Every structure is written in structure tokens, then in C-alpha cells.
Amino acid sequence: MEYGTIEREIRIEASPEVVFDVVSSPEHLKEWWPDEAEFEPVVGANGRIGFGKDADGITWEQFTVVDATPPRHFSFRWTHPEGETAAPGNSLLVVFELEPAGSGTLLKMTESGFRERGWDEAKVAAQYADHSNGWDHYIPRVAPYAEKVGAGR
């Protein structure tokens, strides 16, 4: 298997403006993906997202906004070591592309950079599988949440 890029696509019955907010704003992100999110949705902003509100506490991942072009494009790098600048080779790149589709939005998500991390084959395969399974769980949660947000506007 290649383990290069994870791709997901979903149609959402909400405007690109609403979907952009849902995939780029920490307060919305926490409703469908991480348990915690601390960042400004502006290019170059550094922050973190956290998973797992349990007895072991939250596992934090570093997060850097790469592009924020409302309402069409939001991307970030994540999983880089704390204290390091996010770059190819030390982080994964997630890109959300939004296209108007009738009365809604087509959301395309890609995550790449697994091979560039310098991991051995077993770790590349494990990380790719973990993230692929994660996106299979989280991406379907975007539509109902975005549609609820859009209905409230």
C-alpha cells in the first residue's frame, strides 16, 4: 500500500461559509473532532488540539494554520513536536477544500505527509491506518453539525 494521502469527501446541506466556520473555528471544531482546540484560525497561528478527556488527561497535538481563505480553503499542519516549527518532514498536512454544490457544499479533506516523516514502514502503516480510521469516524460528523449550525443562522 502507498500510505501517501488520505482523502475523504462529503456533501453537506449548509453554505460554504457555514462549513468553513465549522472546519476552521476552534469552538466548532470541538463539536465534531478534538475534545479541545486552542488556536486562532489565521495563517501562521500556532496552537494545539487535544484528544481524550479521561483519567489519563488530554493528549495534546501541536497545530499550525497554513491557509485560511474563507469560504473555500482551510489547511493546517499538526502532530509536529512541541517547540518545533511545523514543516514537511515533521508534521502532517490536512487540507479542507469547499465547493458550492447546489444548496450545499462539497467538502474535500486530504491528509498527507506520512512518508515524509522518516518513520519506518511499520510506523508509517500504523499511523496511516490510525488516521484513516479516525477520519472515517470524524468526517461523517461534520455534516449533521454544520447543518445544525446553518439552520441556526
The pLDDT assigned to 124 comes to: 95
The pLDDT assigned to 57 comes to: 87
Report pTM: 0.95
Could you give the domains of the chain? 5-151 (3.30.530.20)
The pLDDT assigned to 44 comes to: 97
Which parts of the chain register pLDDT below 70? 1
The pLDDT assigned to 56 comes to: 76
Query: pLDDT tens digits for 8-17?
Result: 999 999 999 9
Q: How many CB atoms lie within 10 A of CB 26?
A: 16
The pLDDT assigned to 1 comes to: 67
Phi first, then psi: give them for residue 33, nearest 5 degrees. Answer: -130, -90
Residues 144, 151: Cα–Cα separation, whole Å: 10
Residues 3, 1: Cα–Cα separation, whole Å: 6
